[in-house]
Amino acid sequence: MNAGRELSASLEDYLEAIFCIIAAKGVAHAKDIAKRLRVTASSVTGGLQALAKKNYIRYTPYEAVTLTSEGEKLAKDVVRRHQILKDFFTNVLAVDEKLANEGACKVEHSIPPPIVEKLVSFMEFVEICPRGGQQLVDGFRHYHKTGSKENCKRCIVPSLEKLKKGKSKTKGKANMTLAGLKPKQKAVVIRIERRGPISRRLADMGIGRGALVDVERVAPLGDPIVVKVKGYHLSLRKEDAAGIIVSID
Amino acid sequence: MNAGRELSASLEDYLEAIFCIIAAKGVAHAKDIAKRLRVTASSVTGGLQALAKKNYIRYTPYEAVTLTSEGEKLAKDVVRRHQILKDFFTNVLAVDEKLANEGACKVEHSIPPPIVEKLVSFMEFVEICPRGGQQLVDGFRHYHKTGSKENCKRCIVPSLEKLKKGKSKTKGKANMTLAGLKPKQKAVVIRIERRGPISRRLADMGIGRGALVDVERVAPLGDPIVVKVKGYHLSLRKEDAAGIIVSID
DNA sequence: TTATAAAGTTAGGATAGGCTAAAATTCTAC
DNA sequence: GTAGAATTTTAGCCTATCCTAACTTTATAA
Ligand SMILES: [Mn+2]
Ligand SMILES: [Mn+2]
Ligand SMILES: [Mn+2]
Ligand SMILES: [Mn+2]
C-alpha cells in the first residue's frame, strides 16, 4: 500500500489509463490498457479485479469496463496531478514533452497533494506577477538553452514599462464577467455573484477572490466555456460564467 | 525493479539511511536504520542482504555496515536528489520543512534525473536573475500566505532601482576568487584558472561559467572553504578556491 | 565469569504485482 | 452457422518487501 494514499501507484495508473481511454475512444478494452501501460493483458485483468474489489470500476469478465463515480473522481485527481506536473516541467523547467510526461506519470503517485497545490499556486503567481514572472521563466529558458544571462538583463526594461502602463490604467479598468472572455485570456476572480450549485462547486475547489482563471476554449455561441483554474479544467455554461465577475490585466 | 533505476525505492532509502547515519554517528547499526525508516529490524537485515549482493555495502552478520565506493556514490546521489527537492519545496514553494522532507524522500525515487538538473538550474537562475528572481519568489510566499498581490506590486520599485544600480556598477565591479568570500555569500563562476584535479572534479559535476556558488562555511584560516554548487556540497582547499574566479552581485 | 538484556538473524507467511502458458470466450468472415 | 482469429481470463510461478515469532550472537553489569 502506497502509504497514506487510497491506491498504489500501479492501480492509480490503471485508473488513469481507463479514464483517458474512455475519454478518447468511448470504451476501455483491456487490450488498450495493456498497450498504454506496457504490461500484458493478464496483468490488466489482475488490476481490474483489484479495482473492482475496491469499487472504483464496474467489471464483468469479457466486457468493457466503466468507472464508478468514486473511480471517476479518483481518476480525475490522478489526471490532474499528471497535468500539473507536466505543465510545470514543460512550461517552467523547459523539459521536453516526452520526458515531462514520463516524469509526471511517475511523480504523480508519490508527491504529497499539498505540494501539488503549492505548485499550482506558484505557477499561477508567476503568470500574474507584475514583476514579470512569466518573463523570468522565459529568461530561464533562454539561459538554460544558451547559458547566457544577456537576454535576462535586456528584457527587464520592457517588463518595467509594461508594469507602469498597467499601473496607470488600473483606475479606469472595468470589471467584466467570465462569459465575456476569449480563449487564451487570463483574468482574476473579483467575486462570484450568484449563489447556487456552481458557486458551491467553485468554493469546493478553493476558487474565490484572487484566483486566476485561464480561458481555454469557448464554444461557437459562447456556451460552454472551458477554463482552467487552480489546476482544474472546468466547463461552465454561459449563464453560470456570467455570474463570475473578473478583472483582466 | 524501479524501471530504469539501479535500485528500487526501498533499497535507495536503505542506502540513504546508512549514509546519513554514518555521517552523523560514525557507524550504522541495524537498529538506527530500522528506527529511521520505521521498519522492523528483520526487514533491515533483508535490505542489507540485498544491498550486499549488489555490492553497494560491506555486510557481515552482526557487524556494523559500511558503504563500498559504489554504494557511497549512489547514496550521495540519493541524498542530493533529496536535498534539491527539499530546497525547492521549502525555498520556492514555501512548503513547511516537515512535509518538504517527507515529500522529497518519496519523490526522490521517481523523478527523472534530467528533471532534477533542470530544477537545480532553475533555482540557480532565480537566485541570480537581475529581474528580481529571488524577490519574485519572496513575493509568491507573501501572496501565498495572505492572498494579496499588493506586496508584489509595491516591491517592484526597489527591485528596479537595485537593477539600475547594478547595471552602472557592473563595469567597475572587480571579480574576485572563491577564496575571498565569506559564509552566506553567493557568487557566479566566471572561469576556472588552473587546470588539474580540482578543475576536472568541478567539470565532472557540470560546474563551469555561470554556475552559482553558495559559501556555506569557511574554516578559521580560510582553509578549507565549504560551498554548495549545483546542489553538491564541496569542500575546497584555499589554494584551490583561489583558482576559481567569481563575480558577486 | 556468567546471566540477563539488547541487538541482529532466520524461518515462515502475507500481499502486491509482474510474467508465461493454456484455457475460455467473443468476434469476424466466409 | 461455424471455424479460425482475436481477446480475455485463469493457473501457476516469480520477485520484492514487509511482518511476527523464535532463535542466535554480542554486550553489559553484578
Ligand atoms: Mn503514473
Ligand atoms: Mn499519469
Ligand atoms: Mn526516500
Ligand atoms: Mn530521502
Q: What is the mean pLDDT of the segment spanning A17-33?
A: 96
Residue A234 lies in a domain: yes
Q: Is the model more confident about A59 or about B237?
A: A59
Nearest chain B CA: its distance from A115 CA (Å): 7
Same domain, A3 and A89: yes
Closest B-chain CA to A133: B136
Q: Give the ligand with the smallest distance to the CA of A106.
A: 1
- Write out chain A residues lying below 8 Å of B129, CB-based: 136, 139-140, 149, 152
Residue B122 lies in a domain: no
What's the B110 CA to ligand 1 centre distance in angstroms?
Answer: 10
Same domain, B82 and B186: no
Residue A145 burial (CB count, 10 A): 10
CA B235 – CA B224 distance, rounded (Å):
6
Measured CA to C1', what is the nucleotide nearest A43? C18
Residue B190 lies in a domain: yes
- Write out chain B residues lying below 8 Å of A140, CB-based: 121-122, 125-126, 129
Closest A-chain CA to B119: A93
CA B203 – CA A148 distance, rounded (Å):
18
SS3 content of chain A, % helix, strand, coil (to 5): 55, 15, 30
Same domain, B68 and B9: yes
CA B157 vs CA A129, A231, B161, B162, B163: distances in Å:
14, 31, 6, 9, 10
What's the B108 CA to ligand 4 centre distance in angstroms?
Answer: 6
Alpha helix (H) ranges present in A155-196? 156-170
Same domain, B7 and B99: yes
The per-residue pLDDT for A169 is 41
CATH classification of the domain holding A231: 2.30.30.90
Residue A121 lies in a domain: no
A 10-39: CB within 7 Å of strand D? 29-31
Helix, strand or coil, per DSSP, at residue A244: strand
Residue A116 lies in a domain: no
Asked if the model's pLDDT at residue A35 lies above 70, the reply is: yes
What's the A121 CA to ligand 2 centre distance in angstroms?
Answer: 20
Residue B229 lies in a domain: yes
The per-residue pLDDT for A222 is 77
Nearest chain A CA: its distance from B113 CA (Å): 9
CATH classification of the domain holding B20: 1.10.10.10
Q: Look at A131 and B155 and tell me if their CB atoms are within 8 Å.
A: yes
Same domain, A201 and A232: yes
Cell numbers standing for residue B40: 522492523
Same domain, B161 and B193: no
Range of the domain at B148: 133-170
CA geometry: angle B4, B77, B203, nearest 5 deg: 105
Same domain, B53 and B148: no
Same domain, B235 and B138: no
- CB-nearest to A110 from B106, B121, B132 is B106
Residue A118 lies in a domain: no
Residue A123 lies in a domain: no
Q: Which stretch of A37-41, A103-107, A214-218, B77-81 has the lowest confidence by average pLDDT? A: A214-218
What pLDDT tens digit does each residue of chain B (249 aa) get? 677 788 999 999 999 999 999 999 999 999 999 999 999 999 999 999 999 999 999 999 999 999 999 999 999 999 999 999 998 998 888 899 999 999 999 999 999 999 999 898 888 777 766 656 666 656 565 655 565 555 555 455 555 555 555 544 343 345 688 888 888 887 777 777 776 677 777 766 667 676 778 888 888 887 788 888 777 778 888 888 888 888 776
**Measured from the CB, is B39 under 7 Å from any atom of strand D?**
yes
Q: What is the mean pLDDT of the segment spanning A174-192?
A: 79
Closest B-chain CA to A135: B131
What's the A99 CA to ligand 1 centre distance in angstroms?
Answer: 13
Same domain, B22 and B8: yes
Same domain, B196 and B165: no
CA B223 vs CA A77, A223, B217, B218, B219: distances in Å:
52, 69, 10, 7, 5
Q: Which stretch of A7-11, A75-79, B73-77, B122-126 has the lowest confidence by average pLDDT? A: B122-126
Asked if the model's pLDDT at residue A167 lies above 50, the reply is: no
Same domain, B1 and B96: yes
Same domain, A147 and A236: no
Number of domains in chain A: 3
The per-residue pLDDT for A212 is 74
**What band does A240 get if pLDDT is binned at 50, 70 and 90?**
confident
CA A14 – CA A4 distance, rounded (Å):
19
> Which residue, B84, B98, B106, B97, is CA-closest to B13?
B106
